[in-house]
Amino acid sequence: MRAACVPVPTRAQSTALSRSSAPRQIDRTPETEPSLAEMTTKALAALTPVLALTLTLNLTLILTLTQPNPDPDPDPNRARTLTLTRTKALELLSAEGRGFFLLVEGSKIGTAAGANDAAAHVREVLAFDEAVGVVLRWAQRDGQTLVVATANHETGGLSLGRGVVSDEQVRVRLSLATGRLTLARTLALTRLTLALTRLTRLTPALALILTLSPARSLARWRRRRCARAPSPPRRGRGSTHPPTTTRPCSRG
Amino acid sequence: MSMSAEALTDAALAEHGNPPPAALTLNRTLRRRLIVSLTVRLQGAAGLGLLERQELALLREAVDLFGSLGAYGVQRAVGAVVSSRAKLGWSSFGRTGEDVPLHAVGPGSERLRGSMDNSELGRRIERIMGWDLDKLTANLAPPAISQLDRDDPVTAGFASWP
């Protein structure tokens, strides 16, 4: 049996990105460098005539395909050690099994994520997707090849929706902080009551009482606080916090 | 967003003839010009509109530290500006411990399913391919440790392999 293993050093989101959903304008790999897909195509084309030979000679070919090292300052000693080990492995493994093991590494996505460079990250995910496509088409024709796509680690810890608070959350927070029964507050209370009814299977009336009582005690506490402490100075324009949290006495 | 921080930084540096870090450390005018090219590219090609004061300060800091951080530092600063506008969060500049996906197609792929330790993947491929990696490791280690490896503090630990 043969295996073509395709690891990439971050999330392999290739399956999630179909061609149609890809952004129309993306950053391209520099023209001077061959793309990962081109490199993979060449490697597979070179492998094909050798395959029959490995089957008759009872050999396993081990090949590693990596992109030019983007590491700005690689340690020459370390690089040499790895090369030595890899050559040795090739020699020893060639004595058993049949077929080939090809490792294609999309290594530049790690650099992109390491710089927190989102557009380069997308570019490398698409480049990897293309390389996986090349391997899959080849494997489909061959019929005996196992294709594995995975990552050896994630880099950067990417998350979406950073610091985004929905309007809904802001409205509920504001209305609960206000003492008066405004329209927004009424809506928020209704929503809470309905949620509580659904969750606890209480009757709506009981749920309303349960919702109202903490809100009323909050209002009472705020009134008491107002009587004790003078109102703090108003915040200037451009403050990102909801104004009511800093002015507890203005409406009580 | 059509231009990556990497391409944007490269283009801005190429505009000034790819100056070496030492030249940028010494030449204040060159640093200023580089900041201007970066700003213009971010506002135009990357489509961010006018940059805010703290965004400019971040760029300036990365360019001023070019001598020690290099182009990668500038790329990080540009990446930070773009990510904050795109509401993208990053928890680190390095590798994380997050789970990664595993896709497999073809004969033997039914054995590559579910959550597993990363070293387990190698073991399963070993079984699918019919190899004996332990035997290989035993044969491999002694000749692979050269005098160079023994002198190197990083690889010295491997010298005690059987």
pLDDT tens digits along A66-77: 776 544 444 444
Global model pTM greater than 0.90: no
Structure-token match 């997308």, residue found: A122
- Torsion sign, CA atoms B81, B84, B85, B88: positive
Chain A residues 132-191 with a CB less than 8 Å from chain B: 136, 139, 144-164
Residue B132: the pLDDT is 79
- B141 interfaces chain A, CB cutoff of 8 Å: no
Contact assessment for residue A5 and residue A102, using Cβ atoms and an 8 Å cutoff = yes
> Which chain B residue shows the shortest CA-CA distance from A108?
B6
Half-sphere exposure of A204 (CA within 13 A, CB side): 4
Mean pLDDT to the nearest integer, B31-38: 94
Task: Bin B107: left if φ > 0, else alpha if -120 < ψ < 50, else beta.
Answer: beta
Chain A residues 95-134 with a CB less than 8 Å from chain B: 96-97, 101, 110-112, 114-120, 123
Q: Which pLDDT band, with edges at 50, 70 and 90, does A38 fall under?
A: confident
- How far apart, in whole angstroms, are the C-alpha atoms of residue A234 and residue A231? 9
Task: Bin A187: left if φ > 0, else alpha if -120 < ψ < 50, else beta.
Answer: alpha
- How far apart, in whole angstroms, are the C-alpha atoms of residue B162 and residue B142? 7
- B95 interfaces chain A, CB cutoff of 8 Å: yes
The pair of structure tokens assigned to A21 is 């959903």
Contact assessment for residue A59 and residue A98, using Cβ atoms and an 8 Å cutoff = yes
Q: What is the mean pLDDT of chain B?
A: 85
B4: nearest CB among A78, A85, A117: A117
Burial string for A223-232 (b: 16+ CB within 10 Å, else e) reads eeebeeeeee
List residues bridging with B95 in a β-sheet.
A155
Task: Count other C-beta atoms under 10 Å from residue A36's C-beta.
Answer: 28
Taking only the tens place, the pLDDT of each residue in A163-180 is: 776 655 555 555 555 555
Judge residue A244's burial from the number of C-beta atoms within 10 Å of its C-beta, 0-12 exposed, 13-18 middle, 19 or more buried: middle
Q: What is the mean pLDDT of chain A?
A: 67
- A60 interfaces chain B, CB cutoff of 8 Å: yes
- How far apart, in whole angstroms, are the C-alpha atoms of residue A2 and residue A168? 55
| Alpha-carbon distances of A182 from A59, A213, A218, rounded to whole Å | 79, 17, 15
- Looking at per-residue pLDDT, the higher value among A231 and B50 belongs to B50
- A25 interfaces chain B, CB cutoff of 8 Å: yes
Mean pLDDT to the nearest integer, A143-165: 88
Residue B34: the pLDDT is 94
Q: Which pLDDT band, with edges at 50, 70 and 90, does A250 fall under?
A: very low
**Closest Cα in chain B, distance from residue A10 (Å):** 7
Would the pLDDT of B148 be above 70?
no
Q: Which residues contact A115 (CB under 8 A, 6 or more apart)?
A: B5, B6, B72, B75, B76, B79, B93
> Which chain A residue shows the shortest CA-CA distance from B148?
A77
Would the pLDDT of B29 be above 50?
yes
List residues bridging with A2 in a β-sheet.
A145
Cα A111–chain centre separation: 15
**Amino acid identity for residue A134 in this structure:** V
Q: Say yes or no for a CB contact (<8 Å) between A3 and B79.
A: no
- How far apart, in whole angstroms, are the C-alpha atoms of residue B143 and residue B104? 34
Residue A169: the pLDDT is 57
Give the single-character DSSP code of A223. Answer: H
Q: Say yes or no for a CB contact (<8 Å) between A160 and B88.
A: yes
> Which chain A residue shows the shortest CA-CA distance from B147?
A81
Q: Which pLDDT band, with edges at 50, 70 and 90, does A88 fall under?
A: very low
3-class state of residue A61 by DSSP: strand
Q: Which pLDDT band, with edges at 50, 70 and 90, does A82 fall under?
A: very low
Chain B residues in contact with A131 by the CB 8 A cut-off are none
